[in-house]
Chains A and B, each alone.
Chain A
Amino acid sequence: MADVLDLVARLAAFDQQRAIRHASHRQVAIQPHTLIMCPLAMAGEDTAVHAIAIGGINQPPEICVIGDPRQRDEQYALIAWLGERIERYFGACRARGDFPQFWVSSSAAAGHLDILADRLRFTRDNPPIKRVGELLTYATERMPYAGQQALMTATGALSTLFATGQHQGDDEHLGVFLTWLAPPPGLSLQNAIVQAEREVMGVKTDPEFDRLTLQPLVSAYDAAKKSGASPQELQFRYQQVASVLTPIVTRIYDAVQQALRWLDQPIPEAPVLGELRRQEASAFASFMLGRDAGAALPYRDGPKAAAFKMVEREHALQSLAADQSYGDRMAAARSRWTGHLISGSVVGGTSVREGKKTVHRLVIASEQVNLHLRPRDQLVLTRDPRLQVVVEDVRIASEGTHLHVRIKKGHQAVGVPLTGAQVELGADRANWDMLIRKRGRMAARLTTLPWTHTDGPAPAMQPLAVPTDLQAAIEALR
């Protein structure tokens, strides 16, 4: 299983006591105008953003801190500040026909944005705040789609290129991952990791820091506000809070910048990224049209909406899986390992007249033994998918497998591979545009929901008299 490839990468990293590169091509698109977002939440308050740092690649951060996010007006002020920037950014992307991209530190931060989006977009008393929630929802609802490029986690992106020598779950701490990438000199890697772990890199501040530092300051701020303190004192109290939170969000922000620099490796981009960018731009354009039209972004889905979303997600997953290994050496190696790509050489072939056509057959010898194939499966030649073949037989040979295939299509355009030729066969390329047709078909089909999928009662039909011995009557028809 491909798990073993991941395991040996981690073993190799453990051996070298540093992260190693385990990809041949870059796996994520980095928009040049991307927005890095590093929110800090208040512990226990799932939707409270206490401070946030945002900015572009290699840009210093813009930072917003509030005194106490539990105060609604203050929280809304921060959200509004964030919203202004997101609105501007989205507008610029839309004008260019491009798509926006957010970078956060790890999946904890992405999860926090998801909670925020879910909460804010249902705000009733404040349309600008509701709007921020809706715009954030673009990114958070793209996240479950395979191959999406809207909401990126630094840890997730780094792990597409690099393997650390630790458990996958531990990779979610950005500071630790960066330590694996560049172990500081003069310190054992393990000690460096322990130190890195102490620095928060997600959305929560350290509980001891909360207890010893932050809470007293926030309480003092609250007390000052409540007692109607002078503007100078209020400002002072606020600055105290800001002075302890600013370094934290700045550090997380800098770490994400560092991660982006690590991702800028001198290796080619995986070819599938071109298509993924196109998909993202299309998703964004249609999302914004939805915003213009005031389309709802529901929390729960009825059967129709759920079916559409499932089909879209499945399509994204399958299309990515089909195209991922094309032109990407490491991805192809993984596919060969799991038996989804077959490499071999042509050891025989026949060309026989059958009726009006000449039918070409090939026998391909492969060293792989774990092929997921059976008769009637259809494959294509990966170097030119116009050549389509049908599997006729899979036989064990003394050294591997012999694959017997019949060329179904494309032998005139591509030519019939000669004996001795190296060939690679795999599933056909993805048809990314099929989704548009599929959606059209589904929309027509689901104009009315069938009774099986509504809350209404099942249709009542007038029953007929039931004859006796129904089976005998059927047997008589044999």
Chain B
Amino acid sequence: MTALAITAEDRASAAIEAVLATQWRRVPAFVLDSPPGAGKTGIVERLAVQSFARLNERVMIVTLTNEQAFDIAKRLARGFPRIPIHMVVSKQLEIPDEVADLPSLTLADSASALPAGPMISIANAAKWSWFDHHEVMADLQIIDEAYQLPDYQFVQIAGLAHRHALIGDPGQIAPVIQTELERWRCDPAGPHVPAPDALIARHPATLRLALPVSRRLVQDTVSFIQPAFYPELAFEALTPVRPMGYAVPGIMPTDIPLDAPTHGQSMTMIELPAMMAGDVDRAMAGTMVATVRRVLQRQAFLIEEDGRRTTVTPQMIGVACAQVAQVAAVRERLWPDLSDVLVETANRFQGLERPLMFVQHPLSGRADATAFHLDTGRLCVMLSRHSVACWIFGREGIASQLRRYAPVGDRALGIDADPEFIGWRANEKLLDQLARHNRIHAVPAELR
């Protein structure tokens, strides 16, 4: 490309062209780092369609879960209805009707059920590892959410294709492996290491690409998320702002944080009084739900690009909590009238988005010595789901808790990575930034 990439859209487009060009250039493998909301799944689709339709190739798409496989199948079928797709599944799998009914989708349960010649097939990694064919069967293997695939699962499927595209978000929650890893801790390409990292450790010349924009996040959010969670991956927001407003003006002091997005502040923290809350913080659940109700009561609206106003409905709101029990506490308070609000744990929010998000800081009300890298992955996911505004709820004392429990180091010999410390520091950086930019609002008493 000879034209200068001037706008963010240009830069995004140039990056996508570069990704697509790898297949013409026959790059044997590349890693694509994708910040949240960058349109990663769209890249997966385009790569697959390009290989099938323009290069007459056989493509295998690898997902981590069945849900992700269904999602890609739907997107391909709706976006490219003329292109036939296959999904490899076991007979016992419950397939939702909206997927099973897709006209261009054919289910297959074995290698012989796949067509000879060009094709696009989708399955999760486990299914591909059990697949009844052991030689190369595809020209291109695209792995979505590659940072969540440990290398021991990658080795079981890598031999099925000539070329590999590993696409993922390096800031998301890494797979938690509970088995003992003592044998392999010092191996930078160990079986537990995420596939992209292991591939690069073995083949340092592997091409690394990155998507430089997020389509979902606004610039204000990126200015907090990127330095804290993605210091090595520079990216910007495609859409600088997405304004919102309220039909009913705010009158109470507790409306101040709610008004923050109307002044362009997409991330705000609501700080409750300090308290050790155990695994369920009912008062916090009450406050979060009261805040959701208040936003709806005040008839919040989003302002689209063409100036139109869209009233915020419960379906446009998401609540992310750190623990399952907290999810239950919030859900029981939203029931029955606000059951359309999506309430989930951070883990289950991966891959999802909502215009407005209300999140519970994972360290809120707890102060046990904790695995910071897990909490940081969770926090990063929670803070990157919203396209308009995000309110973070936490009890006062997180900063001092971080200081008290700074990790003393649980290291692997000769391995630079220290996920505990990096996670801890990301948490600290984020809070520090929020404080510096006056985004933290103390709520003196719980809202009911």
* 7 interchain pairs, CB-CB under 8 A: A303-B155, A310-B152, A371-B328, A396-B331, A449-B159, A454-B202, A474-B50
Which residues does chain A contribute within 8 Å of B20, judged by CB atoms?
A: 470-471, 474
Q: How distant is the Cα of A466 from the Cα of B19 in the complex, in angstroms? A: 12
Contact A463 B25, CB 8 Å, known A370-B324, A453-B202: yes
State how many angstroms separate the Cβ of B213 from the closest Cβ of chain A. Answer: 14
B40-70 contacts to A, CB under 8 A, are 46, 49-50, 53-54, 66
Cα-based distance from A469 to B94 in the complex (angstroms): 40
Known: A370-B328, A452-B199, A470-B24. 9 other contacts (CB 8 A): A144-B179, A314-B177, A316-B179, A339-B324, A369-B329, A376-B94, A450-B158, A463-B26, A471-B16
Asked whether B164 lies within 8 Å of A317 as measured between CB atoms, the reply is: no
Q: How far is the CB of A374 from chain B (nearest CB, A)?
A: 7
Q: Could you mark each residue 198-221 of chain B with 1 if its beta carbon is under 8 Å from any beta carbon of chain A, else 0? A: 010011011000000000000000
CA distance A470 to B177 in the complex (A): 39
Chain B nearest CB, measured from A410 CB (Å): 13
The closest CB in chain B to the CB of A451 belongs to: B28
- Chain A, 331-364, CB within 8 A of any chain B CB: 339
User: With contacts A310-B191, A369-B329, A453-B202 known, is A471 near B13, CB below 8 A?
Assistant: yes
Q: Assuming the A-B contacts A463-B24, A463-B26, are A376 and B96 also in contact, with contact meaning beta carbons closer than 8 angstroms in the complex? A: yes
- Inter-chain contact A450/B21, CB cutoff 8 Å: no
**Residues 140 to 186 of chain B near chain A (Cβ within 8 Å):** 150-152, 154-156, 158-159, 162-164, 177-180, 182-184
A446 pairs with B155, CB closer than 8 A: yes
- Cβ-defined partner of B28 (8 Å) among A408, A454, A459, A465: A459
Docked pose: A303 CA to B188 CA in angstroms: 12
Q: Does A255 contact B (CB under 8 A)?
A: no
Find chain A residues with CB under 8 A from B339 CB: 395-396
A310-B192, A441-B130 are known contacts. Are A471 and B46 too (CB-CB below 8 A)?
yes
User: Are A144 and B180 also in contact (CB < 8 A) when A390-B94, A455-B202, A464-B25 are?
Assistant: yes
Interface size on A, residues (CB 8 A): 62
Tell me if B308 is interfacial: C-beta within 8 Å of chain A: no
B422 at the interface (CB under 8 A from A): no
- Whether A307 contacts B50 by the Cβ 8 Å rule is no
Contact pick for B24, options A447, A452, A467, CB 8 Å: A467
The reply to whether B83 and A477 contact each other, CB–CB distance below 8 Å, is yes
| B436 on the A face (CB < 8 A) | no
B158, A444: Cβ atoms closer than 8 Å = no
- Neighbouring B residues of A465 by C-beta, 8 Å: 24
| Size bracket of the B interface | 35 or more
Are A442 and B156 in touch, CB under 8 angstroms? yes
Contact (A458, B28) CB under 8 Å given A306-B184, A474-B50: yes
Complex Cα distance, B13 from A371, in Å, reads 43
Which of B49, B129, B184 has a CB less than 8 Å from the CB of A474? B49
Within the complex, the shortest CB–CB distance from B196 to chain A, in Å, comes to: 11
Closest 4 CB pairs of A and B: A144-B180, A461-B26, A450-B158, A450-B159
Residues of B within 8 A of A459 (CB): 28, 162
User: Does B26 lie within 8 Å of A462, measured CB to CB?
Assistant: yes
Asked if A211 is an interface residue, CB under 8 A from chain B, the answer is: no
The answer to the question of B263 belonging to the interface, with a C-beta cut-off of 8 Å to chain A, is no
A339 nearest in chain B by CB position: B324
Using Cβ atoms and an 8 Å threshold, which residues of chain A touch B130? 438, 441
Is A27 at the interface (CB under 8 A from chain B)?
Answer: no
Complex Cα gap A473–B50 (Å): 8
Please name all residues of chain A whose beta carbon is closer than 8 Å to the beta carbon of B202 when the two chains form the complex: 452-455
**Which residues 79-133 of A have a CB within 8 angstroms of B?**
none
Measured between alpha carbons, how far is A317 from B177 in the docked complex, in Å?
Answer: 10
**Pair A1/B129 contact, Cβ less than 8 Å:** no
Q: Which of A4, A144, A300 interacts with B279 by CB under 8 Å?
A: A4
**Which B residues between 80 and 104 are near A, CB-CB below 8 angstroms?**
80, 82-83, 94, 96
Q: How far is the CA of A466 from the CA of B190 in the complex (A)?
A: 36
Is B29's CB within 8 Å of the partner chain A? yes
Is B340 interfacial (CB 8 A cutoff)? no
Q: What is the CB-to-nearest-CB distance from A471 to chain B, in angstroms, rounded to a whole number?
A: 6
Quick check: is B332 within 8 A (CB to CB) of the other chain? yes
Chain B: which residue is nearest A308 at the CB level?
A: B152
One digit per residue, 1 when the CB lies within 8 angstroms of any chain B CB and 0 when it does not, for chain A 392-420 equals 00011000010000001000000000000
- Bound Cα distance A284, B108 (Å): 39
Query: Is A372 in the interface zone, CB < 8 Å from B?
Result: yes
Say yes or no: A466 contacts B53, CB within 8 Å.
no
How far is A382 from B50 in the complex, measured between Cα atoms in Å? 48
| Residue of B53, B179, B190 touching A314 (CB-CB under 8 A) | B179
B404 within 8 A of A: no
Measured between beta carbons, the chain A residues less than 8 angstroms from B164 are 452
> Is there a chain A Cβ closer than 8 Å to B113's Cβ?
no
CB distance from B395 to the nearest CB of A (A): 19
Q: Which of B129, B158, B182, B348 is close to A453, meaning CB atoms less than 8 Å apart?
A: B158
**Complex: A156 Cα to B244 Cα, angstroms:** 58
Distance between Cα atoms of A465 and B25 in the complex (Å) = 7
**A441's contact among B28, B82, B129, B163, by CB below 8 Å, is which?**
B129
Is A47 part of the binding interface, using a Cβ–Cβ cutoff of 8 Å?
A: no
Interface string of B113-129 (1 = CB under 8 A from A): 00000000000000001
The answer to whether A72 has its CB under 8 Å from any CB of chain B is no
Query: Is the Cβ of A311 less than 8 Å from the Cβ of B152?
Result: yes
B84 to chain A, nearest CB (A): 12
* Given A370-B325, A376-B96, A465-B24, A473 and B54 contact (CB-CB distance below 8 Å): yes
Contact of B332 among A369, A378, A464 (CB under 8 A): A369
Q: Does the CB pair A448–B159 fall under 8 Å? A: yes
Of chain B, the residue at the smallest CB distance from A444 is B134
Known: A339-B324, A370-B325, A376-B96. A306 touches B191 (CB 8 A): yes
Tell me how far the C-beta of A450 lies from the nearest C-beta in chain B, rounded to whole angstroms: 4
- B100 vs chain A, min Cβ distance (A): 12
Answer whether residue A146 sits at the interface, using C-beta atoms and an 8 A cutoff: yes
Residues of B within 8 A of A371 (CB): 324, 328
Q: How far is the CA of A4 from the CA of B53 in the complex (A)?
A: 57
A372–chain B nearest beta-carbon distance, Å: 6
| Most A Cβ at <10 Å: residue of B16, B159, B206 | B159
Given known contacts A378-B94, A458-B29, A461-B162, A307 and B155 CB-to-CB distance under 8 angstroms: yes
A21 CB–B CB distance under 8 Å: no
Chain A nearest Cβ from B389, distance in angstroms: 26
Measured CB to CB, the closest approach of chain A to B332, in angstroms, equals 5
With known contacts A144-B182, A470-B17, A471-B46, A396–B335 Cβ distance under 8 A? yes
> How far does the Cβ of B130 sit from chain A's closest Cβ, in whole Å?
6
A311 to B83: give the CA distance in the assembly, Å: 36
Q: Is B231 an interface residue (CB 8 A)?
A: no
Is B383 positioned at the interface, with any CB of A under 8 Å from its CB?
A: no
A446 and B162 form a contact (CB under 8 A):
no
B192 to chain A, nearest CB (A): 7
Partner of B203, one of A370, A396, A452: A452
Partner of A477, one of B82, B151, B187: B82
What residues on A are CB-neighbors of B177 within 8 Å?
A: 310, 314
Known A452-B29, A459-B162: A307·B21 in contact at CB below 8 Å: no
User: A309, A447, A462, A471: which contacts B17 (Cβ < 8 A)?
Assistant: A471
- Decide if B183 touches A1 in the complex (CB within 8 Å): no
- A307-B152, A466-B25 known; A146-B348 Cβ under 8 A: no
Please report the C-alpha to C-alpha distance between residue A395 and residue B334 in the assembled complex, in whole angstroms. Answer: 11
Is the CB–CB distance between B179 and A452 below 8 Å?
A: no
From 320 to 340 in chain A, residues with beta carbon under 8 angstroms from any chain B beta carbon are 339
Q: Are B183 and A309 in contact (CB under 8 A)?
A: yes
A191 CB to nearest chain B CB (Å): 30
Task: Give A458 to B30 CA distance when docked, in angstroms.
Answer: 11
B129→A445 contact, CB < 8 A: yes
